[in-house]
């Protein structure tokens, strides 16, 4: 297989070899059900609780506040649906942002059909939530604010502490989808007044199909999966011990390497951004220039169709994304890019490149050279571009 330069780490990441190694014995050797009383089962239970403690430590939380789920989407669904149900006697209003992941947005749409009211707060041109609008949206019936920690498409990091303070001041629960942020930026649930937090293994070099929901002690939240007594009777089902062990090791690894890894990623990210903006005309960066995920770059190229660009990059072994994996395949431009004010035709020409610790400067140089020639070729085939060039030349006379 030809060399692949994988720049789609916001979609998923490679499972780290040490994570796989740690998981393997839990398939074939320590396969006991954690709910049993014999030693084999205890072994599973201990491994699970160790992972729980590692994750809790990473957030400044307690082990008993971590509930394992099947990933980010489930955690988001749980946080929203179960809060809505548990607090509906207090009110029926939920506040979120326009740039959430579909796991939040589509859950909110479903809740609206059940009679809840949802306010989708605007973001500014950098993708930062408008705090004054958030405050204005609060009603006596507001039960929950859910705002993502960092955006999966444009990388913008939200003022989570400020949002947490606003929520706390008004006695409203605060949930954050931290699937992109967990393991990439430091998070402390107490400092940020976070009541619930979603994360997912496969976004931090852990396995797919495992995640967790942090639920602050004292938050009334209903069981999401009914059945056995697992996860303090709140999420039934025999625990995914290999996945949980993998998530624990991935978390430990991400936290231990965070400073060094992200410093290197930020340097490469900024190098990529600077060169692309300088060397490719009619290009813009999407998302906040500095207050963004260490590994995220997102560009819009005028007169370019995102899908064609992705296909051509793929022919050179470069994996990128034109929005979020979930929206590829549909012709609608990304809701995030529209929310930051991009017109449809510019949003269509977008490219997200998300780095990992394995990416080198040579990789980035290679990508930039390929990108330059791809964009030149695509533009040379674009009647819109031709027209634009002709008009601007005419204007110079």
Ligand X SMILES: *Cc1c(COP(=O)(O)O)cnc(C)c1O
Residues labelled as active-site residues: 326
How far the first Cα of the chain sits from its last, in Å, is 52
Q: Please tell me whether 257 is known to bind a ligand.
A: no
Minimum distance of ligand X from residue 71's CB (angstroms): 3
* Residue tagged 């993998």 (tokens): 246
For helices 306-315 and 361-380, what crossing angle results, to 10°? 130
Minimum distance of ligand X from residue 50's CB (angstroms): 22
254 binds ligand X (CB under 6 A): no
Nearer to ligand X by Cβ, of 193 and 352: the residue is: 352
Minimum distance of ligand X from residue 376's CB (angstroms): 32
Cβ–Cβ < 8 Å for 322, 137: no
Considering just the CA atoms, what is the radius of gyration of the chain in Å? 22
Tokens of 141: 């019936």
Q: Please tell me whether 202 is known to bind a ligand.
A: yes
Interface with ligand X in residues 72-111 (CB under 6 A): 72-73, 76, 101, 103
Handedness of CA 171, 173, 176, 182 (dihedral sign): positive
Site track for ligand X across 145-184, x = CB under 6 A: ---x---x------------------------x-xx----
Minimum distance of ligand X from residue 10's CB (angstroms): 6
**Which single residue brings its beta carbon nearest to ligand X?**
72
By CB under 6 A, the count of residues binding ligand X is 15
Q: Please tell me whether 330 is known to bind a ligand.
A: no
Nearer to ligand X by Cβ, of 104 and 249: the residue is: 104
Residue range at the interface with ligand X (CB under 6 A); choices 46-54, 112-120, 195-203, 272-280: 195-203
Nearer to ligand X by Cβ, of 152 and 283: the residue is: 152
CB contact set of 295 (below 8 Å; sequence gap of 6+): 9, 10, 155, 184, 262, 265, 269, 354, 355, 356
Residue 321's Cα: distance from chain center in Å? 14
Q: Please tell me whether 114 is known to bind a ligand.
A: no
> From residue 356, how far is each of 215, 268, 285, 350 by CA, in Å?
29, 10, 19, 20
Q: Please tell me whether 326 is known to bind a ligand.
A: yes
Give the count of beta carbons closer than 10 Å to the beta carbon of residue 347: 23
265 binds ligand X (CB under 6 A): no
> From residue 123, how far is each of 181, 213, 292 by CA, in Å?
18, 25, 14
71 binds ligand X (CB under 6 A): yes
| Residue of 52, 81, 203, 252 interacting with ligand X (CB under 6 A) | 203
Q: Please tell me whether 141 is known to bind a ligand.
A: no
Q: Please tell me whether 228 is known to bind a ligand.
A: no
Q: Please tell me whether 43 is known to bind a ligand.
A: no
HEC string for 196-241 = EEEEEHHHCCCCCCCEEEEECCCCCCCCCECCCCHHHHCECCCCCH
Nearer to ligand X by Cβ, of 76 and 239: the residue is: 76
Cβ–Cβ < 8 Å for 352, 298: yes
Cβ–Cβ < 8 Å for 109, 80: no
| Residue of 200, 262, 296, 300 interacting with ligand X (CB under 6 A) | 200
Closest listed residue to residue 74, CA positions, set 115, 104, 111, 109: 104
Q: CA dihedral defined by 377, 382, 388, 393, rounded to 10 degrees? A: 50
Minimum distance of ligand X from residue 395's CB (angstroms): 43
Question: Collapsing DSSP states into helix, strand and coil, what is residue 331?
Answer: coil
Nearer to ligand X by Cβ, of 43 and 81: the residue is: 81
Residues that bind ligand X (CB under 6 A): 71-73, 76, 101, 103, 148, 152, 177, 179-180, 200, 202-203, 211
Binding residues for pyridoxal 5'-phosphate: 72-73, 152, 180, 200-202, 238
Binding residues: 72-73, 152, 180, 200-202, 238, 326
């Amino acid at each position: 297989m030809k060399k692949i330069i994988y720049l789609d780490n916001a979609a998923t990441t490679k499972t780290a070899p040490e994570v796989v190694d740690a998981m393997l014995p839990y398939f074939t050797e320590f396969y006991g059900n954690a709910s049993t009383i014999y030693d084999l089962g205890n072994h599973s239970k201990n491994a699970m609780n160790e992972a729980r403690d590692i994750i809790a430590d990473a957030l400044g939380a307690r082990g008993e506040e971590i509930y394992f789920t099947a990933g980010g989407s489930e955690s988001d669904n749980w946080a929203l649906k179960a809060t809505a149900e548990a607090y509906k006697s207090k009110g029926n209003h939920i506040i979120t942002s326009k740039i959430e992941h579909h796991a939040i947005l589509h859950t909110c749409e479903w809740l609206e059909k059940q009679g809840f009211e949802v306010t989708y707060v605007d973001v500014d041109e950098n993708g930062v939530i408008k705090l004054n609008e958030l405050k204005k949206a609060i009603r006596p019936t507001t039960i929950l604010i859910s705002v993502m920690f960092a955006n999966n498409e444009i990388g913008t990091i939200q003022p989570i502490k400020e949002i947490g303070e606003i929520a706390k001041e008004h006695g409203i629960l605060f949930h954050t989808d931290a699937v992109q942020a967990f393991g990439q930026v430091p998070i402390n649930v107490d400092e940020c007044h976070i009541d619930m937090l979603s994360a997912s293994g496969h976004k931090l070099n852990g396995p797919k199909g495992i995640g967790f929901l942090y639920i602050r002690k004292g938050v009334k939240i209903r069981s999401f999966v009914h059945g056995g007594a697992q996860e303090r009777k709140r999420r039934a089902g025999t625990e995914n011990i290999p996945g949980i062990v993998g998530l624990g090791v991935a978390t430990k690894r991400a936290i231990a390497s965070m400073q060094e890894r992200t410093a290197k990623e930020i340097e490469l990210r900024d190098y990529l951004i600077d060169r692309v903006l300088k060397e490719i005309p009619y290009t813009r960066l999407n998302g906040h220039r500095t207050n963004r995920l260490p590994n995220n770059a997102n560009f819009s190229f005028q007169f370019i169709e995102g899908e064609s660009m992705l296909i051509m990059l793929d022919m050179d072994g470069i994996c990128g994304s034109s929005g979020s994996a979930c929206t590829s395949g549909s012709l609608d431009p990304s809701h995030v890019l529209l929310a930051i004010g991009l017109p449809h035709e510019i949003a269509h020409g977008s490219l997200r490149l998300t780095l990992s610790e394995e990416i080198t400067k040579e990789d980035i140089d290679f990508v930039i050279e390929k990108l330059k020639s791809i964009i030149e070729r695509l533009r040379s085939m674009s009647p819109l571009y031709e027209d634009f060039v002709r008009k601007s030349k005419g204007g110079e006379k």
